[in-house]
């Protein structure tokens, strides 16, 4: 019982109520392979993402993100996994080859209005996929990546990168976003919020997500995202709720 993530949160002296019960329900749903919805912050992107643990990714879950989300379907991973696989941030990689490709110097992402750095890394396909873009292909890529993170836990970095290369190719149709090293103590984007939830749930630190778009050319408003969650039986979490739970859990 002591290793149960929900039990750990209950021990953290959080006042039990609507907020903490939502966190508990979200953790339980993630462990069952269900979606949760995460809203980052009014002062950040102001967007809600549909999120599922990558180890449970299926063609049906990709279809849900594609049809009900409509934004970019992407893979979020922990900084530890990225370091193990020597995955670069795209912005950092561009800066190392900008002398050969001067256009990259012109495209430097130094004016992101809500963040200081892009979390995007490589775009991948599993080698068993065909085009890589279908629901079947993208779910396979994401689930196989989650499986790989378990396999590389106790191997050296060189062997881990060879295993990665044996199973995946790049470029592909699944973009990887890498969480900040200190997670929510450093950055409070969806990638960090999702990986924090995966860790609190005791799941593989890889999440699959998609921004929910509205029909007016912008992200779906928060109130409508909440209604979508209610209509579909999904937990809706504010980023600030996850931040607070993470502070208590990680002590």
Q: What is the pLDDT of residues 9-35, one digit of tens each?
A: 555 554 555 678 899 999 999 999 999
CB of 194 closer than 8 Å to CB of 207: yes
Give the E-state strand segments of the chain in sequence order: 36-39, 48-53, 70-77, 120-126, 168-178, 206-212, 235-238
What residue ranges of the chain have pLDDT lower than 70?
1-18
- Token pair in block for residue 217: 């050319």
Enter the pTM of the model: 0.91
- CA distances, 183 to each of 65, 119, 191 (Å): 24, 12, 9
- Token pair in block for residue 150: 């378990």
pLDDT at 186: 83
DSSP 16: P
- Token pair in block for residue 23: 């966190």
* CA separation for the pair 46, 158 (Å, rounded): 39
DSSP of 88-153, one letter per residue?
PPHHHHHHHHTTTSTHHHHT-----TT-SS--EEEEEEETT-SSS-SHHHHHHHHHHHHHHHHHTT
| Cis status of the peptide bond prior to 171, with omega within 30 of 0 | yes
Instruction: List, in order of start, the domains of the chain with CATH numbers.
Output: 5-249 (3.90.870.10)
Contacts of 100 (CB under 8 A, 6+ apart): none
pLDDT at 17: 57
**pLDDT tens digit string along 198-240?**
999 999 999 999 999 999 999 999 999 999 999 999 999 999 9
């Amino acid at each position: 019982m002591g290793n149960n993530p929900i039990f750990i949160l209950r021990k953290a002296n959080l006042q039990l109520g609507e907020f903490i019960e939502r966190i508990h329900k979200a953790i339980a749903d993630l462990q069952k392979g269900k979606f949760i919805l995460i809203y980052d912050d009014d002062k950040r992107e102001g967007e809600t993402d549909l999120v599922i643990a990558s180890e449970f990714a299926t063609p049906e879950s990709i279809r849900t993100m594609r049809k009900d989300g409509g934004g970019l379907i992407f893979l979020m991973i922990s900084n530890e996994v990225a370091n193990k696989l020597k995955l670069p941030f795209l912005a950092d990689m561009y800066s190392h080859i900008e002398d050969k490709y001067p256009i990259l110097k012109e495209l430097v992402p130094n004016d992101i209005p809500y963040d200081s750095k892009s979390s995007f890394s490589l775009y991948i396909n599993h080698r068993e996929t065909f085009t890589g873009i279908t629901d079947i292909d993208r779910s396979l890529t994401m689930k196989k990546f989650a499986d790989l993170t378990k396999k590389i836990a106790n191997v050296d970095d060189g062997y881990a990168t060879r295993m990665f290369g044996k199973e995946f190719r790049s470029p592909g149709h699944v973009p990887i976003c890498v969480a900040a090293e200190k997670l929510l103590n450093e950055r409070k984007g969806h990638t960090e919020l999702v990986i924090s939830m995966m860790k609190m749930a005791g799941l593989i630190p890889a999440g699959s997500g998609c921004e929910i778009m509205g029909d007016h050319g912008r992200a779906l408003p928060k109130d409508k995202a909440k209604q979508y969650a209610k209509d579909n039986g999904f937990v809706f979490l504010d980023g600030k709720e996850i931040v607070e739970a993470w502070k208590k859990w990680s002590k």
